[in-house]
Amino acid sequence: GAGVSQSPSNKVTEKGKDVELRCDPISGHTALYWYRQSLGQGLEFLIYFQGNSAPDKSGLPSDRFSAERTGGSVSTLTIQRTQQEDSAVYLCASSLTSINEQYFGPGTRLTVT
C-alpha cells in the first residue's frame, strides 16, 4: 500500500518568510510524528499527534514552529519567519497506534537562504 508522503520534497526560501510543510500518513494510522535532521546531526523529535491532538508541544524548537492535524489524517508543520538555522530535512512518520513501529516519509529538505 501507499506509504507516508510529504510535500514539497525540496523547499528553498528566503530568511524571514513563512513555510508550510505537509505530511500524508499511511491510511488508518492514528499517530503522526514530526522530526528534523540537520546536516551531521541526529534525528530530533518535534511533535506527536494522536488523532488530531498533540499532547505535548514542548519539542518544538521555538514559538515560530506550529503544527496541526485535521481529520485524523493530513498534518502541516508551519515555520514562521524562517531563520538559517531552520535549514534541515523535516521528516514525518506515522504509526498504527502510539506504541507501534513508525514509518517515515521521504522528507522535505528545507533550505533558508
- Asked if 59 is part of the footprint of other proteins (rule: CB under 8 A), the reply reads yes
> Is the Cα torsion angle 71, 49, 58, 86 positive or negative in sign?
negative
Residues 6+ apart with CB under 8 A from 18: 78, 79, 80, 81, 82
Binding to other proteins (CB under 8 A) within 92-111 occurs at 98-99, 101-107
CA 44 – CA 24 distance, rounded (Å):
20
- Asked if 1 is part of the footprint of other proteins (rule: CB under 8 A), the reply reads no
**Amino acid in the structure at residue 100:** N
Please say which residue, 7 or 104, places its beta carbon nearer to other proteins. 104
> Which SS3 state, helix, strand or coil, does residue 86 take?
helix
- Asked if 5 is part of the footprint of other proteins (rule: CB under 8 A), the reply reads no
Span near other proteins by CB under 8 A; candidates 11-19, 39-47, 61-69, 72-80 = 39-47
For the bound state, the minimum distance from the C-beta of residue 93 to other proteins, rounded and expressed in Å, comes to 8
Q: Which of 31, 67, 79, 112 lies at the binding interface for other proteins (CB under 8 A)?
A: 31
Count, residues in the chain:
113
Q: How far is CA 111 from the centre of its chain?
A: 15
User: Given the rule CB under 8 A, which residues bind other proteins?
Assistant: 31, 33, 35, 41-43, 45-48, 50, 55-56, 59, 89, 91, 98-99, 101-107
